[in-house]
Amino acid sequence: MESEEKPVTRLSTARSRELGEELRRVRHRARMTSGFVADALGWSLGKLSKLETGSRGTSPWEIGTLLGRCGADKPTRDRILAIASEADTGNFVRRHEPWSDTLTALTVHEYAASTLTTYEPLVIPSLAQTEEYALALTKDRGVVDARMARQETLRRPGGPETVIYVHEAALRVVVGDSKVMRDQMLRLTLMCGWARISPRIIPMSAQAHAVLRHSGALLTFPAPIKPLAYAETETATVFHDEPDAIAAYEVKMRQLERLVLSPTHSRDVFARWADAYDRDHRSAPEAKRGDT
């Protein structure tokens, strides 16, 4: 085995942590210990550990050798080698397959975050959706399962302090039916009492502002890891840990905080919408009978 290396210490980046997590998952799926793989490749255990945590790099050739030793299939090799070959500019794009919820760059960072602030303009944000709302919205059971797993990550002991900005317009857009919406409103009402998670309403009466146009999320981590921001498009999610991009998202979240209702007022609004949708749901059978 090679002797223990002493590379220059470097701060991990979002892309290097994503790459490291992809490699760790390949090794775990192969049921190989880190010691076994390091011995097989002639690496030090420290080299493999730092690679899997994103705190050191290596050549695409060595990554290809690691993937081959772990028996990764061709689509997996191609995907990981594409990540390894990217220039680490602080901005990168990951295509959805078909949604964002299973992206490694997303799940690994949501798990590690200290704080998470998120906003979506016209639907209930993914991290606050009920299972029924998510299914009515996506029509994909696999996506729903992944989304619920993301939410469990936030709710675990030690999960991030999370603020979820919900525009009041999203409360008015009926997803599924009145029962789905009633249960979603009840969920948001209950969430207002959860530890570490705070859903907040941006009212329809809020002053128009450019920050309301697009979705976005900002995550922070224990020092010295830099913050990470991301935003979804129809087909891909764009990730940023480049300082200027982070500064723009910090401005966005501060501006959103100026527009939202207080936690207590937000809870009251969610509860009123739950009552309204409950009345709609209970009156629906009567309306149908009246039509016959």
Would you state the structure tokens that stand for residue 75, as one six-digit string?
């689509």
117 with 141, same domain: the answer is yes
In a domain, 3, yes or no: no
Strand partners, 232: 237
Low-confidence ranges of the chain (pLDDT < 70): 1-10, 285-292
Q: Where is the domain boundary, 85, 100, 129?
A: 85
In a domain, 147, yes or no: yes
Q: What is the pLDDT of residue 289?
A: 45
Range of the domain at 56: 14-85
Q: What is the pLDDT of residue 7?
A: 45
Helix axes 263-291, 178-191, angle to 10 degrees: 160
Query: What is the number of structural domains in the chain?
Result: 2
110 with 68, same domain: the answer is no
In a domain, 202, yes or no: yes
229 with 256, same domain: the answer is yes
Q: What is the pLDDT of residue 10?
A: 61
**CA 175/CA 180 separation, integer angstroms:** 7
Identify whether the C-beta of residue 161 lies closer than 8 Å to the C-beta of residue 267: no
Q: CATH number, domain at 24?
A: 1.10.260.40
52 with 126, same domain: the answer is no
In a domain, 65, yes or no: yes
- Strand 228-232: give its sheet, edge to edge: 91-95, 236-240, 228-232, 216-220, 115-120, 161-167, 197-202
